[in-house]
Amino acid sequence: MTLANGRHRRPQPPGAAGTTLARAAGATAVGAAALPVLASGQAHAASSSVWDKVAACESSGDWHVNTGNGYYGGLQFSASTWAAYGGTHYADTADRATQAEQITIAQKVLKGQGAGAWPVCSVRAGLTRSNGAAAAKPAVAKSTKAKAPAKAPLKAKAPVKAPVKAEPPAKGHAVEHTVRHGDTLSGIAEALRIPGGWEPLYAANRAIVGPNPNLILPGEHLTWHSPAPVRTAPVRTEAKAAPAKPAVAKAKAKPKAAPAKAHASAAFVKPISAHYWISEGYGVPGPWQAGHHTGVDIAVPVGTTVHAVGAGTVVKAEWGGDYGKMVMVRHEDGRYSLYAHLSKFDVHAGEQVSAGTTLGLSGATGNVTGPHLHFEVDTTEKYGSDINPLTWLAGHGVSLT
């Protein structure tokens, strides 16, 4: 997990040659040549797990997503690419097709363009022409054979494994974690208090995670064995979350809390407290819709904690198209700070935050070339109302450079 030269991927100018397959997570495809409509009986490959990983990278695994940015479905097909490879045989746009149908079209794109059609996510998911286009028939045969003789022993083993796994936790030597949406290895390692961070956790679970530590999927079960009893952070996190809500309620109920909020709003901090560097400055001219870069890109590894720069109210905590997972906070001076390309967010719309509050973790979601935090300051909630975030923060006594 080294620092990458992460920044916004510059969108393809209108009218440029070729069609774009996807922009989420920095994936774009070259122009697709029209191919005949696919036969309805063609099945997708049994290697759908690799396509699940591509979809997790492209759209957080939402096979029916339509954010209005011109790209559809779990693998983020453009309408033109979907039609060119016969997708309209199934549905008008990819988000209206089933997962199996989307994978069938993806296999055609893979055959015509190669894994480079998803330049970032294919690398993260380990997608190749061979594993992405594996024949369906052999897979079905294998699964059929496995169902009769193999599943019975597996089910028999499960009850045996249960007591075996139960013993270490009783001694405090082993902890399990089920991956949820937005989790990262570094975040899990911090929660489980693992010495050395994410790397030993990854080493212990490489067979489950696969070759890319930046790509973990919801539902995967990770296990960490410790020589000493482990006090897991999930318990502490819940303990922190429980009093946090009453604390807000008390602040609203008690008049004394108002001066505390006013005092907190006077302080501002950097959005990143860890080591970082600026990979793209504000106002750089380019083919963005606004005509220039609307914020600053702060290069940090995936899973770096992102803080609210000042007190305010969360107005957005959602998927923002090219911004990926994003959080927007309205501050007392009427300005809006925006934090984009997160791997997860820990706040919700309407929540009150203070300077330094953890909003989420940095990532590489949306339209990017690598992991980073896009920090932006706007005068309204609408795109294009940006101001120089460095100048704004400097006015509050904070320097990012």
- Is residue 294 within 8 A of residue 288, CB to CB? The reply is yes
Which position has the higher pLDDT, 185 or 64?
Answer: 64
Identify the burial level of 257 via C-beta atoms within 10 angstroms of its C-beta, where 0-12 means exposed, 13-18 middle and 19 or more buried. middle
Pick the closest to residue 237 from 294, 193, 298 (CA basis): 193
| SS3 labels along 145-184 | HHHHHHHHHHHHHHHHHHHHHHHHHHHCCEEEEECCCCCC
- The pair of three-digit structure tokens given for residue 329, joined into one six-digit string: 């906070």
Q: Which of 13-17, 116-120, 180-184, 305-309 has the highest mean pLDDT?
A: 305-309
- The pLDDT of residue 131 is 87
Determine contact, residues 339/359, Cβ cutoff 8 Å: yes
> What pLDDT sits at residue 27?
37
Packing angle of the helix pair 48-59, 99-113 (nearest 10 deg): 90
Closest CA to 165 of 176, 178, 156, 151: 176
What's the pLDDT at 53? 87
Residue 386 has pLDDT above 90, yes or no: yes
pLDDT at 324 over 50: yes
pTM to 2 decimal places:
0.41
Q: Facing residues of 387 across strands?
A: 377
Per-range mean pLDDT, top range of 112-126, 135-149, 249-263, 293-307: 293-307
The pLDDT value recorded for residue 153 is 46
Q: What is the pLDDT of residue 343?
A: 94
CA 3 to CA 298: how far, in whole Å?
10
Chain segment 24-71, per-residue pLDDT in tens: 333 333 333 333 333 333 434 434 588 988 888 888 889 999 888 788
**pLDDT tens digits, 71-128:** 899 898 888 888 888 999 999 999 999 999 999 999 998 888 888 888 888 888 888 8
Question: pLDDT tens across 208-264, in order?
Answer: 887 778 778 877 888 887 766 555 554 333 333 334 444 444 444 444 444 333 333
Residue type, 92: D
Please give the pLDDT value at position 8.
Answer: 55
Q: Which of 195-204, 206-215, 275-284 has the lowest mean pLDDT?
A: 206-215
Plot region of 341 (φ>0 → left; ψ -120 to 50 → alpha; else → beta)? left
Identify whether the C-beta of residue 218 lies closer than 8 Å to the C-beta of residue 61. Answer: yes
Q: How would you classify the pairing of strands 373-378 and 277-280? A: unpaired
Asked if 332 and 311 count as a contact pair (C-beta separation under 8 A), the reply is: yes
Give the pLDDT confidence score for residue 392 in this predicted structure: 93
**Cα distances (angstroms) measured from residue 22 to each of 66, 75, 76, 126, 127:** 12, 7, 5, 17, 15
Residue-averaged pLDDT of the chain: 74
Type of residue found at 105: I
The answer to whether 322 touches 290, Cβ cutoff 8 Å, is no
Question: What does the alpha-carbon distance between residue 294 and residue 228 come to, in Å, rounded to a whole number?
Answer: 49
Place of tokens 């594996």: 134
Q: What is the dihedral of CA 46, 221, 321, 367, to 10 degrees?
A: -80
What sign for the dihedral angle of Cα 61, 62, 64, 66?
negative
Contacts of 167 (CB under 8 A, 6+ apart): none
